Amino acid sequence: MTVQRFDVAVVGGGIAGVSAACFASADHSLVLLEQERELAHHTTSRSAAMFLEDEGRPVFHRLSMASRAFFEADHPELDAPLLDPLPVLKVGTEENHDEFVEATATQVTGKIRLVDERELPELCPILRPGVATVGLYEATAASVDVMALHQLFLRRARAAGAEVRRSAQVIGIERRADRWRLSTTVGDVEADVVVDAAGAWGDRIAALAGAEPVGLTPFRRTAFTSPIDADPSSWPFVYAPSSHLHCYFKPEAGNQLLCSLADETPSDPCDARPEEVDVALAIDHINELTTLELRSVARAWAGLRTFAPDRDPVFGWDDRVDGFLWVVGQGGTGIVSAPAAGEIVAALLAGRPLPRAVIDQGLTETQLAPRRRG
């Protein structure tokens, strides 16, 4: 049987894989291999779907800023914009005061401002008086239509000739002369380059190809929706980082909140399941922080947020294994950074400099490279 040959094989059909395929398939013949029957089955379909610039480490702030133009552009394939404005209000107590002042002073984005206790109820009327005493407000944040974004990338990749194979788990990656042979559960393919967009499984894909793992850790986070008696559409997304209140909630259509303890529990790569204790604690914390009195859960789920040891993204060529390109370690910001990530992958594959929007943010290949610590 002849084995089909491509320039590029992308492993993983989450947002990282389809964004890479979208931007790279104009220059290359490309196959995207996804182990599940559905693309975006894992972390991509389990997020809180927020676009905010002041989240994660500064490199992610810069990637999100570099991605904003894509999110705000008019995409003719879409019926509605990708973003729906939704400010973010980070709230804290006395213990957070100095940290919030410092965050405002050292911010990369210029988008957050400090909020005092008097303004908090104006921004979010259901905060319980006297509990939160300080805030950080990002007025330009938004809710993202993640599935529309995923579909847009996929559609453009296909239109440029990319092939998508589902239920195609990559089980072997072997270097034969100057190219790769990828064995999958539905047959083999050959490619000059492997792009590792396998999320929580990123190090496992690298190991199959003989590349040294970068030390990724997937962290489980549980989320759930809870019905409420009020219309939350004028409230912001609220996040409380202090330990005894740790939680977030997001207004959703149909008088519901999307809630989470914002927990981080190390996990093996797997089909993550929600933890009841994390749901119960989140409800306690939200009820302490607000006057809401949440009682019930409509739906709960969990996803894996996967980080490199320094919590910066790993986007770049492996320096020891030829033809192996990493796009992993997106942690809790893989949706907002996806347009920039896809453009970075395309630039590296084509041997071009990083995209202008990424360079303008002061980012370099070295900062993003897998062995930046070595």
Ligand X SMILES: Cc1cc2nc3c(=O)[nH]c(=O)nc-3n(C[C@H](O)[C@H](O)[C@H](O)COP(=O)(O)OP(=O)(O)OC[C@H]3O[C@@H](n4cnc5c(N)ncnc54)[C@H](O)[C@@H]3O)c2cc1C
Shortest distance, position 71 Cβ to ligand X, whole Å: 11
**What letter does residue 128 receive in the DSSP assignment?**
P
Please report how close the Cβ of residue 57 comes to ligand X at its closest, in angstroms: 13
Select 205 or 211, whichever has its Cβ closest to ligand X: 205
- Whole-angstrom distance, CA of residue 21 vs CA of residue 15: 10
- At its nearest, how many Å lie between ligand X and the CB of residue 116? 26
Nearer to ligand X, 73 or 101 (CB): 73
Query: What CA–CA distance (Å, rounded) separates 254 from 65?
Result: 31
State the minimum distance, in angstroms, from the CB of residue 300 to ligand X. 11
Q: Which is nearer to ligand X, 14 or 339 (CB)?
A: 14
Question: CB-wise, 100 or 153, nearer to ligand X?
Answer: 153
Q: Which is nearer to ligand X, 146 or 369 (CB)?
A: 146
Query: Is the distance from CB of 141 to CB of 35 less than 8 angstroms?
Result: no
Q: Which is nearer to ligand X, 55 or 318 (CB)?
A: 55
What amino acid occupies position 18?
V
Alpha helix ranges (H) inside 138-275: 146-159, 202-208
CA distance 29 to 132: 54
Provide the 10 A C-beta neighbour count for residue 235: 21
Task: Enumerate binding residues for ligand X (CB under 6 A).
Answer: 11-17, 33-36, 40-44, 46-50, 169-170, 197-201, 205, 221, 223, 260, 303, 305, 330-336
Helix 338-350 and helix 58-72, axial crossing angle in degrees, nearest 10 = 90
Closest by CA to 364, choosing from 103, 374, 318, 348, is 348
- Sheet containing strand 83-85, strands side by side: 50-51, 142-144, 83-85
Give the amino acid at 277.
Answer: V
Single-letter residue type at 78: L
User: Quick one: CA dihedral 269, 180, 165, 342, positive or negative?
Assistant: positive
- Give the nearer residue to ligand X in terms of CB position, either 197 or 368: 197
